[in-house]
């Protein structure tokens, strides 16, 4: 079969893990391998130099977990798998499968190494395959190869010699791709200085032109955290002030100081000690350059183990950890080792990775040294290295820990894509896709203080401003403001964050997401994705303190002639993007916006003034969608304001997603009329509202995007009504027009 062709169903079934296979009724227990593992004919060559244009070996079914555990009494590989599969539930039903995946590849080579990935398919449709472990040849003495084999670990202590070598090799091999060495000043970005811990003088220092330094990212948690305040700032600047603070400094910070010195660095940045925590002016200045602080650091130390600042680093000293490597000795020539979870998987499970502030710290750091509960990992822009796996080589282009590998298990090719979920990708990626992805991933994280909702993401927003020249209004890109208002909550229960307006995702707790711009739900595909929304309302940004307003700055939706120096480009997949000729890698999701008169664009936004149509409709908890309802994304149907005559059915005219509170309060068809406003025209209904068979029959732009609002406060008869966003949805334009509406001005 040609590698460029997807296999037929018949061909795939012959390769799938559940293909018919003959196994002996009785196992020969005098051997050290069962019949299933013996049939694989494993050798050193099984894992090395596999041609990139050659199909991978077939998956091998190892049987249900109970059988694997029974064979572990004599089969060394079953024993290794049993040890790794302790967390797999339902041993009588869970299938265990060995799948070959490509691993390390060197530049200029037409081969890759392989690793054996042991997995368990989901018992319930819709769940992900459970990755039990990865297995590679074990080479404790470096006798097999220097690359892509298992490495013996120090069982009791972190190998800091290895960690130092990672930093050095990254410097030598990757250069500017992994570290910004250019001199910079804080004054150039409007901040008088940066504070650092000087580990030679053991005190806090202030510098406008920072030298090489290391950043720390950690979890404060419930432990008391030593802080620099207005009261102790002068004391902290005195030589040896860190010595005097002693054990008042949490263990995580003390351990980070030791690691920084071990790496040969003199300066360390720690948020609690380098920002004056009770000075709002200082905090605002330092947080405003958080992106620069992390991007320009020599290295970021991430203490991902534990859930508070006194957990420290496991394995700092001898006896500080107890690592066990599971090894299977197949023959004198081949031993196999179970690798620890790769860095990405290990860190993703940590409490550190659930915190709001750590998201931008991880995204913006070019190089990270991760400390988990039992080991360390190094990740930079070009490599991913670990204590138990040899992958250090200047010509390495990729290895399995740098990839998301989605196993099909049905005989079809696996899907392999680079891991970039913790990168802010600005090269050749339209900004609105990236913005939506990052907002979705950030907002599900935990914040101790809801007022940090935007500050905890500000460094990411600043990057969008710097790279694309965007204007951000309360976290929303003004250039696509009408689209940016269409976010939905993904959390069952949410609370208002009064520090921010209700129309911004920052104004509510919990996760949010945007509609999928690539899913046209049965309608013809638009190459200009931004045309899915057409403004119908007039929106003004209002400065409540200065009583000034200005129009929202977007592109001219009617006349989209590009200005001089701009070009369109149709990407693979049909998505139209726009770029400046001198910046071809920076892709804009929408044509450049209409420019405003000089001086009109510098107000501080506090409210959204909207001139639009207003009408009332009823709600029903029967969403009418043919998709299974997600309890965290409850959806209501929209009904006409007047109930139907007796004996007639209700008429579904649209849908809206609301918080779980609404489903608890309102059941069935609610007689209460609710106030809605029109935001814009929509190309059509989304897939979670109606299925593609129905949605595809609706004429384009015969749907409107609406917002359900509630009265915020009593207002004078002379001023506009002040309302608050409750949720957004879509409904038929004809139903809106038939219902009766008025046009008025509101402040949201």
Question: Residue 606 — pLDDT band, cuts 50, 70, 90?
Answer: low
Q: Residue 491: is its pLDDT beyond 90?
A: no
User: Would you list the domain boundaries of the chain?
Assistant: 1-151+398-419, 160-323+343-388, 607-747
Q: Residue 596: is its pLDDT beyond 80?
A: no
**String of b and e for 57-76 (b: at least 16 CB within 10 Å)?**
ebbbbbbbbebbbbbbebbb
- Kindly state the tokens that stand for 9: 């169903």
- Length of the chain, in residues: 748
pLDDT score of 307: 92
Identify the DSSP state of 595: P
User: What's the chain's average pLDDT?
Assistant: 88
pLDDT score of 14: 52
pLDDT score of 601: 43
pLDDT score of 4: 41
Phi, psi for residue 577 in degrees, rounded to 5: -130, 175
pLDDT score of 694: 83
Residue 471 buriedness (CB in 10 A; 0-12 / 13-18 / 19+):
middle
Q: What is the pTM of this model?
A: 0.90
Q: Residue 275: is its pLDDT beyond 60?
A: yes
Q: Which of 11, 322, 24 is nearest to 157 (CA)?
A: 322
Q: Residue 557: is its pLDDT beyond 60?
A: yes
pLDDT score of 597: 44
pLDDT score of 664: 65
Q: DSSP string of 303-340?
A: E-SSSSTTS--TTSSTTS------EEE-SSS-EEEEPP
Question: Residue 17 — pLDDT band, cuts 50, 70, 90?
Answer: low
pLDDT score of 372: 94
CA distance linking residue 269 with residue 272, whole number of Å = 9
Q: Residue 42: is its pLDDT beyond 90?
A: yes
pLDDT score of 716: 59
pLDDT in tens, 109-154: 999 999 999 998 877 655 566 788 999 999 988 766 768 999 999 9
Contact 747, 721 (CB under 8 A): yes
- How large a percentage of the chain has pLDDT more than 90? 63
Q: Residue 623: is its pLDDT beyond 80?
A: no
Question: Residue 602 — pLDDT band, cuts 50, 70, 90?
Answer: very low
Distances (CA, A) of 733 to 481, 586, 684, 706, 738: 21, 36, 10, 10, 9
Contact 225, 237 (CB under 8 A): no
Q: Residue 98: is its pLDDT beyond 50?
A: yes
- Kindly state the tokens that stand for 345: 């998987």
pLDDT score of 688: 83
- How large a percentage of the chain has pLDDT more than 70? 89
Average pLDDT over residues 567-591: 90
Average pLDDT over residues 93-101: 91
Q: Residue 322: is its pLDDT beyond 80?
A: yes
pLDDT score of 668: 63
Q: Residue 599: is its pLDDT beyond 60?
A: no
Element (H, E) at 538: strand 538-543
pLDDT score of 25: 82
3-class state of residue 386 by DSSP:
strand
Question: Residue 178 — pLDDT band, cuts 50, 70, 90?
Answer: very high
Phi, psi for residue 394 in degrees, rounded to 5: -65, -25
Most confident stretch, 268-282, 390-404, 406-420, 596-610: 268-282
Most confident stretch, 130-134, 386-390, 562-566: 386-390
pLDDT in tens, 452-479: 999 999 999 999 999 998 989 999 999 9
pLDDT in tens, 351-385: 999 999 999 999 999 999 999 988 999 999 999 99
């Amino acid at each position: 079969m040609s590698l460029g062709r997807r296999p037929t169903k018949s061909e795939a079934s012959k390769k799938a893990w559940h293909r018919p296979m003959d196994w002996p009724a009785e196992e020969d227990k005098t051997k050290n391998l069962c019949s299933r593992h013996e049939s694989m004919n494993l050798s050193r060559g099984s894992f090395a130099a596999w041609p990139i244009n050659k199909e991978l070996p077939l998956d091998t079914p190892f049987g249900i977990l109970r059988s694997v555990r029974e064979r572990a009494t004599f089969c060394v590989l079953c024993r290794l798998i049993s040890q790794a599969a302790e967390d797999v539930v339902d041993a009588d039903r869970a299938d265990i499968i060995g799948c070959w995946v490509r691993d390390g590849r060197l530049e200029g080579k037409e081969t890759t190494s392989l690793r054996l990935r042991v997995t368990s398919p989901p018992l319930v449709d819709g769940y992900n395959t459970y990755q039990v472990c990865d297995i590679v040849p074990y080479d404790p003495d470096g006798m097999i190869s220097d690359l892509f084999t298992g490495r013996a670990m120090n069982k009791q202590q972190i190998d800091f010699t290895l960690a130092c070598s990672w930093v050095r090799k990254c410097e030598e091999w990757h250069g500017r791709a992994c570290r910004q060495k250019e001199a910079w000043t804080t004054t150039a970005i409007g901040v008088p200085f940066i504070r650092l811990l000087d580990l030679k003088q053991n005190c806090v220092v202030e510098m406008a032109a920072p030298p090489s330094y290391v950043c720390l990212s950690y979890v404060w948690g419930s432990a008391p955290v030593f802080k620099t305040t207005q009261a102790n700032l002068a004391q902290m600047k005195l030589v040896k002030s860190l010595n005097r603070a002693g054990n008042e400094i949490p263990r995580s910070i003390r351990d980070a100081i030791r690691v920084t010195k071990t790496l040969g660095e003199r300066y360390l940045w720690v948020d609690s000690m380098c920002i004056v925590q009770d000075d709002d002016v200082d905090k605002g200045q330092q947080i405003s350059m958080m992106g620069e602080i992390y991007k320009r650091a020599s290295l970021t130390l991430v203490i991902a183990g534990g859930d508070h600042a006194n957990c420290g680093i496991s394995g700092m000293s001898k006896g500080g950890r107890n690592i066990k490597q599971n090894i299977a000795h197949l023959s004198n020539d081949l031993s196999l080792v179970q690798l620890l979870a790769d860095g990405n998987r290990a860190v993703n499970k940590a409490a550190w990775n659930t915190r709001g502030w750590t998201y931008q710290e991880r995204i913006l750091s070019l190089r990270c040294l991760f400390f988990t509960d039992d080991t360390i990992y190094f990740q930079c822009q070009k490599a991913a290295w670990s204590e138990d796996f040899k992958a250090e080589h200047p010509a390495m282009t990729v290895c399995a820990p740098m990839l998301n590998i989605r196993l099909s298990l049905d005989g079809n090719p696996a899907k392999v894509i680079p891991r970039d979920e913790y990168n802010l990708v600005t090269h050749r990626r339209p900004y609105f896709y990236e913005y939506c992805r990052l907002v979705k991933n950030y907002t599900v994280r935990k914040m101790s203080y809801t007022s940090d909702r935007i500050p905890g993401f500000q460094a990411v927003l600043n990057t969008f401003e710097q790279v694309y020249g965007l204007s951000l209004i309360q976290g929303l890109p003004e250039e696509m403001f009408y689209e940016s208002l269409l976010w939905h909550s993904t959390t069952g229960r949410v609370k208002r964050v009064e520090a921010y307006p209700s129309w911004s995702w920052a104004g509510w707790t919990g996760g949010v997401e945007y509609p999928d711009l690539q899913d046209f739900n049965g309608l013809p595909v638009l190459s200009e994705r931004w045309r899915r929304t057409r403004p119908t309302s007039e929106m003004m940004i209002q400065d409540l303190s200065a009583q000034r307003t200005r129009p929202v700055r977007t592109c001219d939706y009617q006349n989209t002639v590009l200005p001089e120096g701009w070009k369109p480009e149709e990407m693979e997949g049909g998505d139209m993007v726009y770029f400046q000729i001198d910046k071809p890698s920076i892709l804009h999701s929408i044509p450049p916006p209409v420019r405003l008169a000089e001086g009109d664009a510098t107000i501080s936004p506090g409210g959204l003034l909207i001139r639009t149509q207003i009408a009332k409709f009823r709600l029903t908890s029967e969403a009418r969608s043919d998709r299974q309802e997600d309890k965290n994304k409850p959806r209501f149907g929209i009904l006409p304001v007047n109930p139907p005559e007796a004996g007639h059915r209700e008429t579904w005219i649209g849908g809206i997603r609301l918080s779980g509170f609404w489903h608890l309060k309102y059941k069935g068809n609610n007689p209460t009329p609710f106030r809605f406003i029109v935001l814009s025209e929509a190309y059509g209904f989304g897939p979670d509202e109606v299925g593609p068979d129905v949605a595809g029959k609706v004429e384009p732009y015969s749907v409107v995007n609406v917002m359900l609002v509630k009265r915020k406060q009593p207002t004078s008869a002379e001023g506009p009504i002040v309302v608050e966003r409750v949720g957004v949805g879509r409904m038929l334009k004809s139903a809106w027009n038939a219902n009766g509406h008025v046009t008025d001005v509101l402040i949201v």
